[in-house]
Amino acid sequence: MFARLSMFVAACILQASPAYADQFRVTSQGEYFTAAKAVRAGDTIILANGTWRDFEIILTGKGTKDRPIVLKAEDSGKVAITGQSNLRIGGEHIEVSGLVFRDGYSPSGEVISFRRSKADQARNSRITEIVIDGFSKPGRFDDDYWVSLYGKNNRFDHNYLAGKTNKGVTMAVRLDSNESRDNGHRIDHNYFGPRQNLGSNGGETLRIGTSTYSMYNSGTIVEDNFFENCDGEVEIISIKSGGNIVRRNVFVASRGALTLRHGNNNVIERNIFFGQNKDHTGGIRIINENQTVTGNYMEGLRGTGFAGALTVMNGVPNSPVNRYVQVSNARIEHNSILDSARITFGAGSDAERSAAPISSVFADNLMSSSDEGRFLEADDDTSGISFSNNLVISGNISSQISAIPVQKLALARAQNGLLYPVGEAFSNRGAPRDLVVLPRNQAGPVWYLKPAANSGFDTGNVVTVAPGEDTLGAALASAKAGDRLQLAAGEYTVNKTMLIDRTISISGPVDSTGSLNVAGAIIRFSRPALFEIAEGGNLRLTAVGIDGAEAPDNVGNSVIRTSAMPMQNNFALELDQVSVSNLTVNKFFDVIAIGKSTMADRIIIRRSTFSNITGMVLNAAAETDNYGQYNAEYVTIEDSSFNGVQNGIANIYRGGTDESTFGPHFKLTNSRATQVGNNKNSAFGTGLLLHGVQDTTISGNSFRDSAPIKIVQTVGVPITVLAGNSFGAGAQPVIEEMFYKGPSRVEIRGTKLTAAGAK
Ligand code: CA
């Protein structure tokens, strides 16, 4: 039995009749549900410290403002909810605190729901100091929401949410029913921690409403939250409803933008964005009517396109609810946008999105660019925007934008850590002086540690390995994350596929001159794969030779493959001064083969050589469903050579028409390809096949006696540059556009074609 302790509640002395509150300390699920049935206003249920596995918590009832019904941990942070678990609350004046959801995932569509059922939505309730840490469904595209806010006047504060790896927004405010609109919810002082790139739509950190209900007011306040490395997709926050206030939040190194996607009359003020020079970090994107964007501060943002520091979109005339309502009556005033890459007016202008912004004001803003490229861009007519009292300190401005003065101006950091003009001359431009940057330690529960920087490669011990049979496998078995296996010169035979489920670096010997000696350490293997990257794994290979001659006579071997199971965490793979040869025992022997539902944050190949290979060097084309998913965010190949690689250098595929991702990115520079892609049996007949890649640079390469490289451009605004390459007979690039019609948007320059290759 649980302990039923009656205690006198001091606060009740003031009431006419003395009231008692019960406190139930429970140690099992059975005790919990008995207590949950018995609770009345003022009662508290205490979950005993420890681990509660497979626990679907439900709590409802009628508390009052002064006498809420409370569910809390015996000690905050010492109650772990694991396995297949979730929490639903209904009723009113319910408060839940102190629980840690980890080591598991919700068996339903939500981890925390502010409704017990459609008929029982929470009101005047609060969830505070809860942790949801990596509580993701195993399948990347098996979707759920971690938190769904329903009902009215609920508060979600001082919580920690980080490490969501599966599809579905981290937190959603739902407006599906009348009871959930004009809701007066408050979302404050939460820590929204790292959310890795999903590689698909559905990776938003916070969404308020949906297109279907976007004509309704939500009336939600989002304030004093800290967003860090929220990299899920192009929208960090997606507002899809009206009448919300988003203020005083801090966004650090987060890819994407706060997007006013649907709904009118939202206020975005006094938010701080620090891009820290990270790719695709953006600020605010404006769509719809009567949006106010004032007093925001942005610094070091590197995003362009839909993730610029400030993006004012073009609309669709008489737009359907799920497309783009024309910007009208936007007020964009007193913002500082400093050391940032792009501000765009009329963004997304095309045949469908043809309605430029109208009746809008852009005033008293202070701006400076991060580089020499276009800083203030106009993709359409800007005459519907009134520009006044703005100042650009540095940056290239489109001639379509009515005059904004450019004037050098010294900035200095004030006490609050933000940059402001020195002197009085322009002191009234830009963001207010009294902005406060919310300290990181004021977001989330104080008792839960926030993530440190990744440990990364070569941060652990150096473990020396002697040549021989299975010595490498034995060394790997006892290596810890961050360790480097340092190989001596000689031959290594591996008879078991090496499972990489930690961050591991393997390096060959350094010769007497101090440079790495590729010929020094040779690895041979007798299984269909040498390495398999599994959940949690990252692999760096440096200065080793890999010879496939001893591999079994199978179709489809590979040197490095990913787990056959879906992987939750993105991985990194780096090859430097690696020599791979003799992958010829059977057909389709690849160097790197990425499987479905696995995603590389980066694959970097430098100073490496690949010769006599029946497959391809990088096979990253497993996401064939055309949902806008793909297998690798950044692929970088530099200073490498390819000789006799029958199926080509790489096949990277991102299908579909969704515009919610930044990648894939592909770079091939200063490399040489000879007899690449010439396999008569290859389905592709290409030396390199890129489909739906968003950002491509191919420069300073030579292709000889090779099949053509083929680039298929799909949706979005792909950036494709081919510069300073020479293409031999038959190898010149083939460029295809699937949807876009218009002048070529591929930049080709400095290309040499041999006589036979020119057509
Ligand atoms: Ca989205």
In one-letter notation, the amino acid at residue 567 is: M
Give the number of other CB atoms < 10 A from CB of residue 731: 27
Query: Could you say which DSSP state residue 284 is in?
Result: E
Residue 728: its pLDDT value, please?
82
Q: What is the pLDDT of residues 14-30, one digit of tens each?
A: 443 445 789 999 999 99
Average pLDDT, the chain: 92
- CA–centroid distance, 262 to ligand 1, in Å, is 12
* Centre of ligand 1 from the C-alpha of residue 233, in Å: 7
Domains observed in the chain: 462-757 (2.160.20)
pLDDT for the residue numbered 131: 98
Which residues does 181 contact at the CB level (< 8 Å), separation at least 6?
Answer: 175, 213, 216, 217, 218, 219
Pick the closest to residue 534 from 510, 509, 508, 569 (CA basis): 569
Comparing 140-154, 362-376, 481-495, 673-687, the range with the smallest average pLDDT is 673-687
User: Three-state SS for 562?
Assistant: strand
Rounded to whole angstroms, the Cα distance separating 663 from 633 reads 5
Q: How confident is the model at residue 328, as a pLDDT?
A: 98
- Span 415-455, pLDDT tens digits: 898 999 998 889 899 999 999 999 998 999 999 988 865 55
pLDDT at 450: 87
Band of residue 682 on the pLDDT scale cut at 50, 70, 90: low
pLDDT higher than threshold 50 for residue 759: no
Pair 337, 366: CB distance under 8 Å: yes
Distance 238 CA to ligand 1 centre (A): 7
Give the percent of the chain with pLDDT over 90: 82
* pLDDT per residue as tens digits for the range 191-233: 999 999 999 999 999 999 998 988 999 999 999 999 999 999 9
**pLDDT digits over 635-646, tens only?**
999 999 999 999
Mean pLDDT in residue range 162-183: 95
Gap from CA of 176 to ligand 1 centroid (Å): 18
pLDDT of residue 417: 87
Average pLDDT over residues 717-743: 87
| pLDDT (tens digit per residue) in 565-599 | 888 889 999 999 999 999 999 999 999 999 999 99
Burial 631-656 (b: 16+ CB within 10 A, else e): bbbbbbbbebbbbbbbbbbbbbbbbb
Mean pLDDT of 550-558: 96
Sequence-ordered strand ranges (E) for 683-740: 688-691, 695-699, 702-704, 709-713, 719-723, 726-727, 734-737
pLDDT at residue number 95: 98
Q: Compute φ and ψ for 519, nearest 5 degrees.
A: -70, -10
Residue 253 CA to ligand 1 centre (angstroms): 18
Encoded amino acid at 565, one letter: M
Q: 12 with 41: CB under 8 angstroms?
A: no
Distance 546 CA to ligand 1 centre (A): 42
Work out the end-to-end distance of the chain between its first and last CA atoms, rounded to an integer number of angstroms.
86
**For residue 11, is pLDDT > 80?**
no
Instruction: Output the CA 660–ligand 1 centroid distance in Å.
Output: 6
Model confidence pLDDT, tens digit, residues 346-378: 999 999 999 999 999 999 999 999 998 999 999
Residue-level pLDDT at 658: 85
Residues 599/625, Cβ–Cβ less than 8 Å:
no
Closest Cα partner for 534 from 481, 494, 586? 481
Confidence of residue 516 (pLDDT cuts 50, 70, 90): low
Alpha-carbon distance of 717 to 739, in angstroms, equals 12
Longest Cα pair distance anywhere in the chain, in angstroms? 101
> Whole-structure pTM over 0.95, yes or no?
no
d(CA 480, CA 133): 23
* Cα 201 to middle of ligand 1, angstroms: 5
Q: What is the mean pLDDT of residues 517-544?
A: 91
Confidence band, pLDDT 50/70/90 cuts, at residue 659? confident
Q: How confident is the model at residue 716 (pLDDT cuts 50, 70, 90)?
A: confident
pLDDT tens profile 36-91: 999 999 999 999 999 999 999 999 999 999 999 999 999 999 999 999 999 999 99
